[in-house]
Amino acid sequence: WPFMMAGLAVVVYQQIDVIAISWMIGPRDVGWYSTADSLVTSLGAPATVVFAAIFPALGRLHRHDPEGLVRLVQRAFSLLTLAAVPIGLGTMVIAPSFAPMLYGDEFRETGDVLVAFGPVIILSFCTLLFGGVALATERSNLWVAVVLGAAALTIPLDAVLVPWTSDRFGNGAIGGAIAFIITETFQFAIGLWRVAPHLVNRATAWRIGRILIAGGAMMACTWPLREQFILLPIGVGAITYGVAVVALRVVGADERALIVDALRRG
């Protein structure tokens, strides 16, 4: 029952924005938004792999080793942020050329929507973890309420942002993506407050800060290359981010072990 309710809440949350946008603008903008949303969903695969690797352990540790649960959540949060930052920021860099390369020039505006979706990717990696922790620690009702609250918040946000971005940029789908940023931020904040408050500490903040510095270095090197062939910014970004992560000593032994376990399960 908790898994079914959580699954239904996620479906409502993920689909209600498309329905709301379709009430306010034409099918062209809905197509741009839906295409971008599908691409973002596929980019979330690393988070799904990590989640599948740790979820059985979360429930076991909740019953028998609460301190071990805290350590595992901290490691998973760091690892997911480590993966989410280059994916989210990299999407913002390559999106304007990536979408038309895949779907043609009629989907060029999808690239603008993908740029707005960049922060959503980073936030959603973390909210997936919070949802899993809530389910594993028998707080599914709380998280279902949070997700349904975010779904309800989507409608008034779309009502304001979609017409505004349609008038301002000629692309109402951007408003839907901005609304998504707000609702994911809402879930992220509640997750930190109620589901994983132990993540709010100096050590975690220092590690996340170093990851963001590495992401900033990647953006600085790839942004001037955003109009070049897509493989060039991807290659430069991967090298820059990898070197920065190593130089800043972001990845410890625990994260390396979790990466190996996730890859085996993936």
- Whether residue 81 contacts residue 126, with contact meaning beta carbons closer than 8 Å, is answered with yes
Predicted TM-score of the model (pTM): 0.90
Q: What is the mean pLDDT of the chain?
A: 90
124-151 per-position pLDDT tens digit:
999 999 999 999 998 999 999 999 999 9
- Whether residue 186 contacts residue 150, with contact meaning beta carbons closer than 8 Å, is answered with yes
141-183 per-position pLDDT tens digit:
999 999 999 999 999 999 999 999 999 999 999 999 999 999 9
pLDDT range class, residue 70, cuts 50, 70, 90 = very high
What DSSP designation does 201 have? S
Q: What is the mean pLDDT of residues 242-262?
A: 76
Which pLDDT value is given to residue 124? 95
Give the contacts of 183 (CB within 8 A, at least 6 positions apart): 13, 150, 151, 153, 154, 157
Which pLDDT value is given to residue 258? 61
Structure tokens at 13: 């949350």
What DSSP designation does 25 have? S
Q: How far from chain centre, in Å, is Cα 160?
A: 23
15-42 per-position pLDDT tens digit:
888 888 888 888 888 889 989 998 888 8
Closest CA to 100 of 170, 32, 175, 34: 32
Structure tokens at 233: 């910014």
In angstroms, the CA 255 to CA 266 distance is 16
Angstrom distances, CA of residue 167 to CA of 25, 173, 182, 208: 11, 11, 20, 37
Closest CA to 45 of 169, 128, 108, 110: 128
- Whether residue 108 contacts residue 98, with contact meaning beta carbons closer than 8 Å, is answered with no
In angstroms, the CA 134 to CA 38 distance is 26
Report the b/e string of 154-172 with b at 16+ CB within 10 A: beebbeebbeebbeeeebb
Reported as half-sphere exposure (CB side, CA atoms, 13 A), residue 80 has a value of 26
